[in-house]
Chains A and B, each alone.
Chain A
């Protein structure tokens, strides 16, 4: 019997396990499916990680190494090459690896930190033939940075998410010609800095409000057709451009990987595609916590580590003192706020500051994030340069919570400030 099992040894799992250790939890097990810890950071060889956490722009492997070192210096047990096949609501974890075989582990608390996966060609139903040479950007990144292979020479990238942008630069540096980065939305979902240093630095055109409408090639990709789209994202006839290319990379979004979460009987928020959680990142199933990209897709790993720390500390608190009363506020959203994590805030959380992560649905130069309950404003946060691709964090002091107002909801909204 373990005190805590952490599923996933990427940035979220490492930070969560370490935070729990720091809070005195001793029997901790991390289960990692890959042959090494670090998760997706191992293939993210570009820099820019850790500016918030360490004040340095580290590469992915360097950032992972910092946390791996923290974990190595504890008594946390790690099993790599181990795939978790099932989790149940009683916190039994069913896993398999080549040395131990098929094993059941039990724990007082479980932290879900499985990360996310990439959306595929199928998810967006790109018509055309089905040749080799169509990769999700992260898969191509692995082929290049871990395995050491070039995936193509003439490349079109669909989607301007960060992985797509990073791969545009990576491919160009290694000698490929990136013909265009094509984005169906009128704005890119990638970080502004990545558009500048990955596309603009290399003169790679960013085609906004465009999409790939046909893939051609019998055995290997021979080209793709790109079209402009209207405001309903339907391709406009007559705007076809043909790109002669051998590779199409897809950077069309990430999806939290919640198959295990579902198996544990935990409900998912359709907006985040992750579990509904309380302020301490505990799911609706007692003793099971979630953090990182399995909970909602983050744009910066620093926030993953921060959130994982909350979850790790909360799991420690749960292991020591048991479940807190669940009397809580439901967090609703309006005015362009698309979601919040957490979705529930306990009236008596025992936390001084509740960290709320949220996203907005449009670009706003200046705006206020307003927290209100029963029409009454309780907090206001001024923010600048808001964009859908960039997560916003606010710290809500729990003394502001209207615990005796009779209301059970908190609303988070965006108020745009006119220029």
Chain B
């Protein structure tokens, strides 16, 4: 019998697990896919918002501001790439100027530190590539950027290291409620538990309905992005937002923690799981972004992607015990600023479970650490020492991002090991650069097959069924 089963290992589920793993509880995390952070947690703007957006008094406002602080703290402790670079919301006309003043007022009420409204000139001094059309801007110093999938992975890894059990490829198909909950998976497994946390993201309404009445519905909205080469990464040094207008939510331009430039998103209604990009959508993003930063060189694009927002009919996170099932806690409708708020949501989930009757005593020891070796960040001496210990660190496999065989092997044997080429990419950046794996993917494929003891034709790009190779040549 588990004390808590967490459904979904995106950033929300991982944050809940990270919080609960501090206590003497038996925890299971059920993830439908073959890795953590495969949904919206890997495909988003990768921004830590300051917190002036949500309406004052909402959960979103409180958890955003709290979560921002916590994210920086956790990321630094667990070696997740993060940077407090600040953000600008730019105003092009009078309406926009009124809007940023309103944002400023909300920010003050929400307790956002270090904000001020600056003139267009001042904004261009901070960001020389900003459009001449910018008349004013709201500067928020506490905003930042983070590696969102590594943040998810880091919290999940610490939870697992401290005893939480992670079940991958485990899609929940039924939940029975009696004395306790019995959860069944598509693979026929059965999990019995006293409490359930629903952190199923875009599918959180479906999971919630397994135990009772429909309390909310997810209306998935896709956001499309460009990710540009590092040659464009210096185009801006802060997150540049626009004001929302009649055409939709503004498009942002930001550097990423890896040094690339990210541009997006738009907002279009979509189906669950449909993360395809469209010609029109990408053209809109491109056109809109150029309004803020006219000099972006889109020919330096290396990847397009789309992420899905788990929007619901409520302009608020849906956090609380299900009305029809005692012991079932929804962490649902976690849209922007969900990534920023995640850690605070996780902590709050712990408080709610306690209120719901879960007895929680802190473990005597909680290992809140994580070891990550990133070859290219080491000094010359450290590089040599490492290669002497393990020559695989002297073999560079991904030339664009300077990732060594040693790092790839480590990713395949880590606390939550990579199981696919993209899983390797998320853990050590191999294939994330300008050639998008053109050079290294055959090499990574070979290493995965060797380390996992499988045939190369079984190597996956991402999810189950995404095999890269069809067959061996000349099979007789």
Contacts and interface: CB of A to CB of B under 8 A. Distances in A.
Are A and B close enough to touch in the complex, i.e. CB under 8 Å? yes
Interface of A: 33, 81, 83, 85, 96-102, 117-118, 120-123, 125, 127-133, 136, 138-139, 142-144, 146-153, 174, 213-216, 218-220, 235, 246-247, 259
Interface string B339-365: 000000000000000000000000000
B416 interface: no
B52 to A, nearest CB: 32
A142 B466 CA distance: 19
Contacts of B282: 125, 127
A235 B282 CA distance: 15
A141 B282 CA distance: 30
Q: How large is the interface on B (under 10, 10 to 19, 20 to 34, 35 or more residues)?
A: 35 or more
A132 B462 contact: yes
Contacts of A121: 303, 436
Contacts of B246: none
A117 B439 contact: yes
B442 A142 contact: yes
Contacts of B457: 149
Contacts of A150: 469-473
Contacts of B278: 127
Q: List the 10 shortest-distance A-B pairs measured between CB atoms, nearest first.
A: A98-B391, A132-B461, A219-B465, A98-B394, A83-B396, A132-B466, A129-B276, A219-B466, A122-B303, A122-B302
Interface in B439-476: 439, 441-442, 445-446, 456-457, 460-474
B382 to A, nearest CB: 9
B463 to A, nearest CB: 5
A130 B468 CA distance: 12
B18 interface: no
Contact of A83 (B273, B399, B463, B471): B399
Interface string B377-401: 0001001100110011111100110
Contacts of B399: 33, 83
Contact of A123 (B273, B299, B305): B299
A152 B461 CA distance: 14
Contacts of B187: none
B408 to A, nearest CB: 14
A130 B456 CA distance: 21
20 contacts: A83-B402, A96-B394, A98-B394, A99-B391, A102-B384, A117-B434, A118-B435, A118-B438, A120-B303, A120-B438, A122-B436, A125-B277, A125-B298, A127-B276, A127-B281, A127-B282, A146-B442, A147-B442, A148-B474, A149-B473
A97 B275 contact: no
A153 B470 contact: yes
Interface of B: 226-227, 273-279, 281-282, 298-299, 301-305, 380, 383-384, 387-388, 391-396, 399-400, 402, 434-439, 441-442, 445-446, 456-457, 460-474
* Residue of B276, B380, B441, B464 ringed by the most chain A CB atoms within 10 A: B276
Contacts of B279: 127, 213-214, 235
Nearest to B461: A132
Contacts of A33: 396, 399
A6 B333 CA distance: 57
B interface SS class: mixed
Given A128-B276, A235-B279, A117 B469 contact: no
A371 B471 CA distance: 54
Given A117-B435, A213-B279, A144 B473 contact: yes
A129 B436 contact: no
A211 B71 CA distance: 44
B416 to A, nearest CB: 21
A182 to B, nearest CB: 16
Nearest to A235: B279
Nearest to B446: A147
A122 B229 CA distance: 10
* Residue of B275, B383, B396 ringed by the most chain A CB atoms within 10 A: B396
Contacts of B456: 147, 149
Contact of A101 (B305, B383, B434): B383
B4 to A, nearest CB: 31
A98 B393 CA distance: 7
Given A98-B391, A139-B442, A149 B380 contact: no
Contacts of A143: 442, 445, 469
Contacts of A259: 400
A180 to B, nearest CB: 19
A262 to B, nearest CB: 8
A349 B66 CA distance: 68
Contacts of A152: 470
Contact of A102 (B380, B400, B434, B465): B380
